[in-house]
Structure formats: C-alpha cells, structure tokens
Structure 1
Amino acid sequence: MHTDDQLPAVRRVAVLGGGVNDEHDVSLASAAAVTRAVRALGLEAVPVTIGRSGAWGHTGGPPLSAADAVAVLSTCDVAFPALHGVNGEDGAAAGLLAMIGVPVAGSPVRAGALGIDKWVTKTLAEAVGIRTAPSVLVAPDADTASLPFAPPFVVKPTTGGSSNGVSVVRSVEQYGPALELARSTGDAVLVEQFVTGREVDIAVFRDRSGALRSGATLEIRVADGDVFDRSQKYDGTADFTVPARLDEAGHAALEAAAHTLYDRLGCAGVARFDFFVTTDGILLNEVNTCPGFTEQSQVPRMFAAVGLPYVALVDELLTAAVAAD
C-alpha cells in the first residue's frame, strides 16, 4: 500500500461481491480476486457478500442482518465494491457506502446510475460529440410486426451486462423472440443498427494526484456479423489483442473520448469504455463503471500491458479512493 503522511491509514478493506442480478457469479469471482490482492498488500480484507435473494453475509460465514452488515462495513477504512449490474453497479452500493461514511474505490451514485443505462449513456455521449450507433428505445407494448431498422440489428436490455439478453436479429422472424429475451433480462429494450467495425476497449482511472491514467487499448476479435457474447467472455475462448491495432491518431481519438466520458459521467475508480472502430471513425458502444475484475479480466490485462500489474492496480485504486475522500 502507498504510504503518505497526509492520507489516513488503511488497514481494513471491505470487498463487496455477489448481488441480486444475473451477474452474481461473475461478481463473486471479481470479489475473490480483489480479496487476494488486498491480502497481498498486507491489508486486512473483509469480504462481504450479497446473496441472490438480497441477504447479506460474510464469504463462507453466517448470514448478517442489514444492520449487522452496515456495522461491519463501518469498521472498514475503504470499500472496494465488485458488484456488477443492477442493485450494485447502478449506484446502489456507492450510495449506501457514502451514507455511512466509507470511502469507495469506485464510481459514485451519479456515474453508476447514468452508466448502467445504455440509452442514457448514448444520449449523453451524443450531446458531447461522441457518436453512437443509431438506435431506438422500444416501448413495452411495441408491435413486433414493425421493425425499427432493416436487419441486421442488435436487440439488448438497456441495463445489465455480460451481454445477457443480447441478440443479433438477421430476419423479421427473429425480432419477436429477441425482444422477449431482452425483456426477460431488463425492463426497457434498446434496438441498435448493427455496426460493422472492430470492438476496441479502453479503461481509465483517476489516481491519487487527480490525473487520469489509461490502460492499453484492447481489441476483441469476433467473427464477422457476430457479437462478443457471454460464453466468449467467460469460457476462455475470447480472442484479445493488447494493444489494439490502432495508429497513433486512432489511439488518441479513443483515449480522448474515454477521458471526456469519464469526466462528464462523474466517474471515479476504474471504468471501461467500449467502442467500435469503423471506416468512418469511432462509435461508443457502452460504458462499464464496475467492469469485470479478476486477474484475467479485460481491465487488469489493459493495465498490466502498461506496467501496472493486478495487485499494484488494486493498490492505486484504494489509495485514490482514500485521497479523494
């Protein structure tokens, strides 16, 4: 852990994992990795889990009442939420921790709430000059006989992650089932024109000095006409290129867009920005204010490629959180 006489001492770190959503297991894996890193730094890790039903507990320990969970969290010097998706990444966890006075190694309520909603994120991005794919927000009673775009197009829930509920529609007959799948994962549904281009991601965090630091770009290589789906993300078959195949101007444009979005959303901690690189320039795909965070996840790979390995990255995020409090 960084030492600085002007910063409060950090000894106990709460690590939150689980959550009431379909990214529960992914979150537990991220939390376990963060816990290992905290212990490698010589600090006391306090793993706190949220079950699928919303019940609180210690990893491997007995259930906790909500009051007991707050009491445990309040004994910690800083918290690292590894909660992906709704009821966590959407600002819920950050709000609770802010209310009880525990510094957070992650984004505050506003950034989480904005970033979790793909429609809102696209609207904000367009307002600051960052292009996104043409899209429409589909009403709950939308007529499936009327297509918003000519195929192919993408149907996805506006909230959530891990590509849950996402489909590529290539024919009229596929639209109805795609809407049903998306609605089974989230209340609101977004339909986007299919983008032909390369998916390139970049991660950013603000360090203890207030400077924004970027990881290497990461390119996700998928078959033409396909999307980076849940199975590819977690079954070990993902094909990543780090750094991405970008020239200097392309890298500069991607990084500038990510830095702009980080600031305009009000992010803190680390956030990942996913773009499409096309022949006409870059388009934002989505923002993750609490991205996957195992040692093999995309964000740690990006920072390892610029000389910041996993444990050191966790150290930087904890130190920045305490410095900002």
Structure 2
Amino acid sequence: MSKPITIAVIFGGQSGEHEVSLVSAHAVMSNLDPDRYHIEALGIGKDGRWWHGPGALAMLMAAADPARLPASATMVAPGPVRELGRVGEPGWSLPPADVIFPVLHGPYGEDGTIQGLFELAGHPYVGCGVAASAVGMDKAFMKAAFAAADLPILPWVLVRRHELAALEMVCERIEATLHFPLFVKPANLGSSVGVSKVRDRAELITGLHEAARHDRRIVVEQGISAREIEISVLGNEHVEVSIPGEIIPAGEWYDYHAKYIAGGSQTIVPAALTEMQIAQVQTLAKRAFQAIDGAGLARVDFLLDREQGTLWLNEVNTMPGFTPISMYAKMWEASGLPYPQLLDRLIELALARSARAGYVKV
C-alpha cells in the first residue's frame, strides 16, 4: 500500500466565523479516508496563536463562544496539543505536509493572507489563490470584477468608515441611488456576520454603524424580494458545476442565526427551477468563478427576483462552509459526488495546481 498523503487541516482563525470553521474542520477531518491520508491538525486561536496536535480542535471548541457555535456542532475527543505561537515568532513553522487544507472562513483565512503564506512556503493548498481569495472576500472588489465581466449584479454603494463622520450626507447619497429595503454589509466578512436588512433611515444608520464595527469598508446593496439560489463549483482550468439548490431561511432573511443557530432553515436540493433557469445559473456560476480567477472550489450565490424572474449574481464564496448542514457538499452529493470523494477531488486539484503553477525558481 502506498504511503498516506499528509494533509494539514487548518481551522479556527481570528474572524467572526471562528466557530463555523471549527465545525467545518471537524466534518472534513471525519470524512478524510484514514487509509489514504494522515491528518495534521492545526488550530488558530482568536488571539492568533497556533496550536498543533490531535487535541487542537477540542481545545478550541472548549474555548469557543457557545452562542456562536452552529447547532450541528458535536463533541470532539481531547488529545495532546502543543503551542506553535504566532506567525513570525521564533520557532514558529508549519509542520511538514503534502497538502494544506485551510478550512478557514473570513479575514485572515479566506482573504488571500494565509494563501500568501502558503505560497511563500511552497506548500500546495486547497482552494483559490491569493488574488482570487482576496477579491472573493472583498464584496466591493468582487462586484467590480463581476461588472467588468458583464455579469448581472444589483445596484450598490460603497461607504468607508471615516465617511460616517458626515452621516447625513452618506445617507442622502445612498438614498439617491437606492431605495429601501437595503442590505448593509461589511465588505470583508462572511456567514452574514455584521449584515443588516434596513427599511428606513433610522435602521440604515444603525446598520452602517454595525457594519463599521467589523470593517472599514461597507457595502450597501439594493434589497429585493428574492429566492436564494446557490450552486457549487469545482475545478481549476476546467470547471464543473453541481445542480443548484435553494435556501429557505428560518427568519426573514438568511442571517447568521438562521444559518447556524435557529435550525429551522430549509435547504432544497435540487432547487425547483426550470431547465432554462438551471442552465443560466450554471453558466453564470462558471463565469463568476473565472472572473475572479478561481481555483479548486467555490459556492456561488444568486438572488432570483420573485416578481420579475430576473437572476442576479450575489457573491462567490471561495471557502464555503463544510459543516454537516452546509450547502456546498450537499449540492455535490445530490450531483453524484459524495463528501469523501469530494475531499479527494479537492486534494487532487490542489496538487495539480501546484504542479502546473509554472513558478521559475532563481
């Protein structure tokens, strides 16, 4: 039997999606074939300290905020763990691995920063590269890339935190371009952290301040009555797409609580769409993935206008959730690719991308 491939699974991180990452990582590690892979667990605490060993996940789970842990979280067995410290501290280094699987969501994990570290270290890794990760994380840059690729996006306005000093002028600028209801979002965050649906000037002001707590750049988007359609993407140069699914949120919209805590949201796979709509979603998903120069994987989210029937591209998630209730793996499962085989494909794509990177060492 051939020697197992060593996979360094990295989880936790310093973003507001820390707890989601822990549950995603548990699902990934539980589904990696032990006959094919040797797992090195690497946890990053909210303080930026790295921990290495079989007990890293249990240790971070014990320190996690219970109110933010997804309802699908389960007990994790404790084990030995050692501190590596922070990146750049004396003695810090990545353990040897054939492939790194960064199951990290949000800033400092999904935004190109840690991908740059892997590139400098010469480690193959699962997922998008530095540029695609950065653009996919930043909603403003992402929308600019979509617009340049002539993809359908809703009207939006960018607000910078320092502009809130002239709050009335900011509100007037937004209201001159968009109409209520609106969605106010931190430019760099996921899992709907810091996102507000606002219906009037007072709620807009509250939403702007809430988003500004998480980021210095704020995206304000036109709100519509829409169905939430999602689709999974897999590949490097040659891109495959799953069948699409639909989210029916437990609340008014699909916020963090509805996604992970409440437990009443429904996921419908496949989505009830016409053949023409399915083809449109699949085509636009490929184009969106290519517009940011994606690699490995992504989940592409759409809004389907209930009144007009128009399909709007919402965003690309370059490291979507891998929790037991997450849509990325569910849509591939329904498309004939079970979770363990999906992980195999992602690892193969990481190795293939590294082999074809074409870097010239001097």
How does the TM-score come out when normalised to structure 1?
0.91
- From 137, 140, 148, give the equivalent of 1:127: 148
Task: Report the counterpart of residue 162 of structure 1 in structure 2.
Answer: 191
The answer to whether the 8 A contact 1:139-1:188 is kept is yes
Q: Residues 124-148 of structure 1, C-alpha deviation per residue, up to 9 Å, x if partnerless?
A: 1111111111111113224433341
**2:287 alignment partner AA:** T
The answer to whether the 8 A contact 1:41-1:315 is kept is no
Q: Distance in 2 between matches of 1:223 and 1:153?
A: 19
Pick closer, same or farther for the CA change 1:34–1:171 going to 2, 3 Å: same
1:178 aligns with 2:207: yes
Task: Report the counterpart of residue 285 of structure 1 in structure 2.
Answer: 314
1:110 aligns with 2:131: yes
**2:167 alignment partner AA:** T
- From 81, 84, 89, give the equivalent of 1:64: 84
Q: Distance in 2 between matches of 1:268 and 1:105?
A: 9
TM-align CA RMSD: 1.9
Which stretch shows the higher mean deviation, 19-28 or 32-41? Answer: 32-41
Pick closer, same or farther for the CA change 1:167–1:40 going to 2, 3 Å: same
Shift of 1:263: 1.5
Q: Distance in 1 between matches of 2:343 and 2:318?
A: 15
The answer to whether the 8 A contact 2:84-2:93 is kept is no
| Unmatched segments (≥5 aa) in structure 1 | 4-8
Task: Report the counterpart of residue 228 of structure 1 in structure 2.
Answer: 254
Shift of 1:324: 2.1
Shift of 1:231: 0.8
**2:290 alignment partner AA:** D
Task: Report the counterpart of residue 49 of structure 2 in structure 1.
Answer: 55
1:257 aligns with 2:284: yes
Shift of 1:108: 0.5
1:91 aligns with 2:117: no
Task: Report the counterpart of residue 137 of structure 1 in structure 2.
Answer: 158
Q: Distance in 2 between matches of 1:223 and 1:30?
A: 21
**2:113 alignment partner AA:** A
1:270 aligns with 2:313: no
1:11 aligns with 2:5: yes
**1:131 alignment partner AA:** P
**1:193 alignment partner AA:** Q
Pick closer, same or farther for the CA change 1:57–1:39 going to 2, 3 Å: farther
SS at match of 1:144: helix
Q: Distance in 2 between matches of 1:40 and 1:309?
A: 16
**1:153 alignment partner AA:** L
The answer to whether the 8 A contact 1:85-1:161 is kept is yes
Q: Distance in 1 between matches of 2:156 and 2:222?
A: 6
Pick closer, same or farther for the CA change 1:155–1:71 going to 2, 3 Å: closer
SS at match of 2:213: helix
Report runs of 4+ in structure 1 exceeding 4 Å deviation.
none
Shift of 1:223: 7.4
Task: Report the counterpart of residue 21 of structure 1 in structure 2.
Answer: 15
Shift of 1:264: 2.1
How does the TM-score come out when normalised to structure 2?
0.82
The answer to whether the 8 A contact 1:10-1:78 is kept is no
Q: Distance in 2 between matches of 1:232 and 1:71?
A: 36
Q: Distance in 2 between matches of 1:41 and 1:308?
A: 19
Q: Distance in 2 between matches of 1:50 and 1:10?
A: 25
The answer to whether the 8 A contact 2:185-2:219 is kept is yes
Q: Distance in 2 between matches of 1:219 and 1:313?
A: 20
Task: Report the counterpart of residue 36 of structure 1 in structure 2.
Answer: 30
Q: Residues 136-172 of structure 1, C-alpha deviation per residue, up to 9 Å, x if partnerless?
A: 1113224433341332111111110010111111122
Pick closer, same or farther for the CA change 1:229–1:76 going to 2, 3 Å: same
**1:32 alignment partner AA:** H
Shift of 1:70: 2.5
Shift of 1:68: 4.8
Q: Distance in 1 between matches of 2:335 and 2:91?
A: 41
The answer to whether the 8 A contact 2:127-2:295 is kept is yes
Task: Report the counterpart of residue 78 of structure 2 in structure 1.
Answer: none
**1:216 alignment partner AA:** I
- From 221, 240, 261, give the equivalent of 1:213: 240
Q: Distance in 2 between matches of 1:139 and 1:101?
A: 36
Q: Residues 267-306 of structure 1, C-alpha deviation per residue, up to 9 Å, x if partnerless?
A: 1121011111122521111111011112321101110101
1:203 aligns with 2:223: no
Pick closer, same or farther for the CA change 1:222–1:98 going to 2, 3 Å: same
**2:258 alignment partner AA:** Q
Task: Report the counterpart of residue 264 of structure 2 in structure 1.
Answer: 237
**2:334 alignment partner AA:** A
